[in-house]
Amino acid sequence: MLEFSNVEKWYGDYHALDAINARVAAGEVVVVCGPSGSGKSTMIRTVNRLEPIQGGTIRVEGRDVHDRACNVNALRARIGFVFQQFNLFPHLSVRENVMLSPVKVGGLSRDAASALAAELLEKVGLAHKIDAMPANLSGGQQQRVAIARALAQRPPVLLFDEPTSALDPEMVGEVLAVMKQLAKEGMTMLVVTHEMGFARDVADRIWFMDQGRILEDTTPEAFFTAPAHPRAQRFLSDILRPHESTVPV
């Protein structure tokens, strides 16, 4: 479904992505974790060409995403993306936020799109807010609308770039619940997150990244009980037992 082959990316002299080789099978949920600056967000943003790459290929449904010849808009319509900062359109109502892509890119009639919006907002638990403006919603509610907006494209794969990092702690649960539901329904998902509980319960595979490289690509059980790489071990102990950390040298 989604495949990275020898992907290389540079920001000037900085090697942001170093020989990334990995794949996400259809129906799989993959969680990407790692310290700040490891390249997780960069990697996921290269999938829908928000960031360019200098080497290798990324294939979604067999099609090379960075091929100059392909229609980038049609391609992006087949990939759902959920941002850390939600990025809802503040001048449009919740309904219109969800309807925009199906109507303008998918060619749906406004009635069909409106019905689709109602169905998806019901699914994320926000049917009662369908005519509200984003400014009047909480962070958790806005992110759930953003997920509905991505689902409206009927994409075969959903990408999540730290979807709960900008939320107050009490709202993280409602967003993770929606994501868990989607996973149970068989959606292919690539999720960059720090939420280790979600990773342990929902992920089929975990990729651990550091300094632009994927250091671990295993099952959650293997990763949490016995991580192979020392960097991964240190990361896990910092995350799971932060009060035992020492001041770095």
Partner 1 sequence: MLDILHQYGTMFLIGSWPNGPIGGFAGTLILAGLGLGLSFPIAVVLGLARLSVFEPVRWAASAWVIVFRGIPLVMIIFWAYFIVPVLTGTTVPAFLTALCAIVFYESAFLAEIVRAGIQGLPRGQTEASRAAGLSYVQTMRYVVLPQALTNMLPSLVNQFVSTIKATSIVYVIGVNEVTFAAQQVNSIELTHALQTYLVLAGFYFAACYALSQLAQLLERRLTRRRLGLA
Binding site for partner 1 (CB under 8 A): 48, 50, 73-79, 81, 83, 85, 87-91, 100-101, 104-106, 134-136, 146, 149-150, 153
Q: What SS3 state is found at 244?
A: helix
Decide whether 92 or 118 has the Cβ nearer to partner 1.
Answer: 92
Decide whether 143 or 206 has the Cβ nearer to partner 1.
Answer: 143
Contact status, residue 57 vs residue 68, Cβ threshold 8 Å: no
What are the E-state strand segments in the chain? 2-11, 14-24, 29-33, 55-60, 63-64, 79-82, 157-161, 188-192, 205-210, 213-218
* Strands laid side by side in the 188-192 sheet: 79-82, 157-161, 188-192, 29-33, 205-210, 213-218
Which amino acid, one-letter code, is at 63?
R
Decide whether 85 or 233 has the Cβ nearer to partner 1.
Answer: 85
Please provide the size of the chain in residues: 249
Helix axes 169-184, 139-151, angle to 10 degrees: 20
The Cα–Cα gap between 130 and 93 comes to 7
Compute the least distance from the CB of residue 159 to partner 1, in Å: 9
Compute the least distance from the CB of residue 60 to partner 1, in Å: 13
Contact status, residue 206 vs residue 223, Cβ threshold 8 Å: yes
Compute the least distance from the CB of residue 143 to partner 1, in Å: 12
The tokens for 206 are 């975990």
Compute the least distance from the CB of residue 105 to partner 1, in Å: 4
Decide whether 38 or 153 has the Cβ nearer to partner 1.
Answer: 153
Decide whether 74 or 239 has the Cβ nearer to partner 1.
Answer: 74
Q: Among 88, 186, 102, which Cα is nearest to 133's?
A: 88
Decide whether 9 or 76 has the Cβ nearer to partner 1.
Answer: 76
